[in-house]
Amino acid sequence: MSAFVVMSLIAALLFFRGFQIFKAFGLDFITTSTWDAADGTVANAKFGVAAMLVGSIITAVIAMTIAFPFVVSSALFLEFYVPKKVKAVLVAILDVMAAIPSIIYGLWGYLVLMPLAAGWASTINKYLGWIPIFHVEVKNFEASPFVSGLVLALMILPIAMSVTREVYSRAPLDQIQAAYALGGSRWGALKTVVLPFGRSGLIGGMLLGLGRALGETIAVLLTLNLVFQVKFQILASAGGSVASLIASRIGEASPLELKALMAAGLVLFLLTLIVNFGASTVVARAERRVK
Amino acid sequence: MSSTEMQVQVEPQRPWIDRTSSLKDTVALVGVSAILAAVANLVTGLAGLMGFYLAFVIFFVITSVIDGYRHDKVKAVDKMATALVTLGFATAFIPWASILLTVVRRGWPAIYGGYFTHDMSVTAADDDLAMGGLSHAIVGTGLILLVACIISIPLGILTAAYITEIRGRLAGFVRIMVQSMSGVPSVVAGLFIFATIVSRWKFSGLAGAFALAILMLPTIARTAEEVLKLVPEEVRSASYALGASQTATTFRIILPAARSGLITASVLGVARVAGETAPLILTAYYSAIFSTKMTGQPIASLPMYVYQNFTVGTDTALTRAWGGAFVLLTLILILFVIARIIGGRGKK
């Protein structure tokens, strides 16, 4: 029961605290992107999370896109390409990887990955710069949504992989054997039996990863330059993240801004709740079909 | 019964286990690709370690396909898929290896004998590395985790017992709630505690413990649920047959029987939240002074020590940050090993 109580308390309280903001700014809170506490009165202040919300979604989508091929290949590799004993060791390592704190991902992302990723981004921009999302106005490729997306991709890999692997491992053995009996190769069997069978598991795993990416705070805070402007140029050094906004502003916020941050927290809470609920529904349906 | 005994298990059970390709073939493929990649590395623009790896990936796929074509097209496609799947997995492992290596290599210089006995109260973040330490952060993290455990372990286990043992009318609903709770972003949990506790009583270790307890609860509840499901149904039946009530069965038979699994669940819960930073920024915050006082004032923790030194940003401060990361990672690894040892013992 405690879980239920805590959940409803969180929602109720954030709503209650943020209510004044919603009352004062209404839909503007979602659709505009100015963040200005001014003198701390409702009349002069302007709060809108549009840029942060769009930024959160962009970085999360980048992370998903980058992670996707690795999720599929790693899940297949662990389940169908390595001996059981090797698999047990690799899975144990993956479990530990999933527990590396996000602050360490952030530290590594900023100091080790960012210089490299900025180079890659510059190369992408050089050859594909004519595509709008790869265009940049100023040639500064650091702290971009692309860099954060890379770090997030790494962070969501273990969870997405383990869910996907779980579903792949339940693919019907008789059908796999049938595929082999018909003269199919290993890849033939995987393509015709395992991949179609595991599709919903894969979607569920990716959605769980998406939920995690949307809520990630510290790793994004360290690797992304927060800018209050809706932008779709993923290589430019400007992006947004609701979670990081909360962590970065809370220390110096006025009472009114605090309320705005509560409201932002509520938006993030609802967003991740929807994504996670979708994920667990998809996974549950996949599991029911197996039984 | 007899019909299942009659069934003959058909071999091979797992046909995907490759029996045709030998180790020699694989070594040859890797070798050839590596040589080609080395040549490309020297001749073309694919310079450096990264360029070498990229060239290796390309050549490995190409040589695999050619190798497959010695048989037929199906084999070639199969070989290509094998190459891509294997490389996908290997590539995903590189960054993790890099993280571990970097943490050890850059964190090591920060560590000296006094690192674990000094705090940062008289040392600035960019003072010489032979001064100061993170005793305050270790003690802070320990205290916060301890209190978080006291709150969340009983609650988590009770929640799991409610779902598997009591099986009340709301069991399914509670399960969904626990599941969605595990998806609550850590910063939102921190914000919640900030709004309820910190805004009234200032930053404190206790507030941090509450925030972490919220994050631990679902991990413990879900793992404990799995563990309790493993207790054989016969044990329950036997207990009821002896006239024990449901409460007595749950608390005196089932929970003790699942003891080692429940400890594993708790340790995993602790390992999951030990490195959380975002909720601590909003609750326990940071203090450079050694303190065991959990109320009324900020208290240090390992993740916040790392974050604090990172924001200072000078070379020495960054080394301190890596040092903190090293200690933090070691702590989490130790927790994992403990969980595995206890969990493994329970299975026997």
What is the number of structural domains in chain A?
1
What local confidence, expressed as pLDDT, does residue B15 receive?
64
User: Of A72-81, A92-101, A274-283, B24-33, where does the model show the most confidence?
Assistant: A72-81
Spatial CA neighbour of A112 closest among A73, A152, A147: A147
What local confidence, expressed as pLDDT, does residue B169 receive?
74
The answer to whether A227 contacts chain B (CB < 8 Å) is no
User: Inter-chain contact B195–A14, Cβ cutoff 8 Å?
Assistant: yes
Tell whether the model's pLDDT for residue A24 goes beyond 60. yes
Query: If you average pLDDT over every residue of chain A, what do you get?
Result: 81
What local confidence, expressed as pLDDT, does residue B348 receive?
39
Q: Is residue A21 domain-resident?
A: no
Q: Which of A99, A112, A215 sits opposite B272 (nearest CB)?
A: A99
* CATH homologous superfamily, domain B135-347: MetI-like (1.10.3720.10)
What local confidence, expressed as pLDDT, does residue B119 receive?
76
Q: Is the pTM of this model over 0.90?
A: no
What local confidence, expressed as pLDDT, does residue A63 receive?
92
What local confidence, expressed as pLDDT, does residue B3 receive?
46
- Helix/strand/coil (H/E/C) assignment for every residue in chain B: CHHHHHCCCCCCCCCCCCCCCCHHHHHHHHHHHHHHHHHHHHHCCCCHHHHHHHHHHHHHHHHHHHHHHCCCHHHHHHHHHHHHHHHHHHHHHHHHHHHHHHHHHHHHHHCCHHHHCCCCCCCCCCCCCCCCCCHHHHHHHHHHHHHHHHHHHHHHHHHHHHHHHHCCCCHHHHHHHHHHHCCCCHHHHHHHHHHHHHHHHCCCHHHHHHHHHHHHHHHHHHHHHHHHHHCCHHHHHHHHHCCCCHHHHHHHHHHHHCHHHHHHHHHHHHHHHCCCCHHHHHCCCCCCCCCCCCCCCCCCCHHHHHHHHHHHCCHHHHHHHHHHHHHHHHHHHHHHHHHHHHHHHHHC
Tell whether the model's pLDDT for residue A139 goes beyond 80. no
Torsions phi, psi for A226 (to 5 deg):
-75, 125
Task: Tell whether the torsion through CA atoms of B270, B272, B277 and B282 is positive or negative.
Answer: negative
User: Which of B46, B77, B180, B330 has the most A C-beta neighbours within 10 Å, making it the best mutation to test the interface with A?
Assistant: B180
What local confidence, expressed as pLDDT, does residue A256 receive?
79
Spatial CA neighbour of A259 closest among B199, B285, B206, B215: B199
Q: How far apart are the first and last CA of chain A?
A: 28
What local confidence, expressed as pLDDT, does residue B240 receive?
86
Q: Is residue A26 domain-resident?
A: no
Q: Is residue A138 domain-resident?
A: yes
Measure B253 CA to nearest chain A CA, in Å: 22
Tell whether the model's pLDDT for residue A189 goes beyond 50. yes
Count of A-B CB contacts under 8 Å: 232
- Helix/strand/coil (H/E/C) assignment for every residue in B134-165: CHHHHHHHHHHHHHHHHHHHHHHHHHHHHHHH
Task: Tell whether the torsion through CA atoms of B211, B216, A249 and A23 is positive or negative.
Answer: negative
Whole-number Å distance between alpha carbons of B328 and B322: 10
What local confidence, expressed as pLDDT, does residue A67 receive?
92
CA B151 vs. chain centroid, Å, equals 21
Q: Are the beta carbons of A60 and B72 closer than 8 angstroms?
A: no
Q: Is residue A202 domain-resident?
A: yes
Residue A228 is part of a domain; what is its CATH number? 1.10.3720.10
Mean pLDDT, range A106-118, rounded to an integer: 87
User: Inter-chain contact A70–B91, Cβ cutoff 8 Å?
Assistant: yes
Give the amino acid at B341.
I
Confidence of residue A69 (pLDDT cuts 50, 70, 90): very high
Percent of chain A with pLDDT over 90: 8
Within a 13 Å sphere around the CA of A248, how many CA atoms are in the beta-carbon half?
20
Look at phi and psi of residue A133 and say left if phi exceeds 0, alpha if psi is from -120 to 50, else beta: alpha
What local confidence, expressed as pLDDT, does residue B2 receive?
44
> How do residues A193-203 score in pLDDT, each as one tens digit?
888 888 888 88
Mean pLDDT, range A213-223, rounded to an integer: 86
Q: Is residue A99 domain-resident?
A: yes
Mean pLDDT, range A117-136, rounded to an integer: 81
Which residues of chain B have a CB within 8 Å of the CB of A250? 191, 194, 281-282
Whole-number Å distance between alpha carbons of A57 and A50: 11
- β-partners of residue A46 are A36
Which residues are CB-contacts of A182 (< 8 A; sequence separation ≥ 6)?
Answer: none
What local confidence, expressed as pLDDT, does residue B344 receive?
66
DSSP letter assigned to residue A252 = G
User: Inter-chain contact A95–B336, Cβ cutoff 8 Å?
Assistant: yes
Q: Which of A2, A100, A261 sits opposite B217 (nearest CB)?
A: A2
User: Inter-chain contact A218–B278, Cβ cutoff 8 Å?
Assistant: yes
Spatial CA neighbour of B255 closest among B278, B269, B236, B277: B236
- By residue range, what is the domain housing residue A170? 54-241+273-290
- Residue B184 to residues A216, B148, B282, B337: CA-CA distances in angstroms? 10, 17, 15, 27
Q: What angle do CA A13, A19, A25 make, to 5 degrees?
A: 150
What local confidence, expressed as pLDDT, does residue A15 receive?
66
Which residues are CB-contacts of A6 (< 8 A; sequence separation ≥ 6)?
Answer: B181, B214, B217
The H-assigned helical ranges of A26-144 are 28-31, 50-76, 84-98, 102-108, 114-128
- Residue B263 to residues A162, B141, B260, B338, B348: CA-CA distances in angstroms? 23, 20, 5, 10, 16
Q: Are the beta carbons of A121 and A141 closer than 8 angstroms?
A: yes
Q: Which residues of chain B fall below pLDDT 70? A: 1-23, 45-47, 125, 344-348
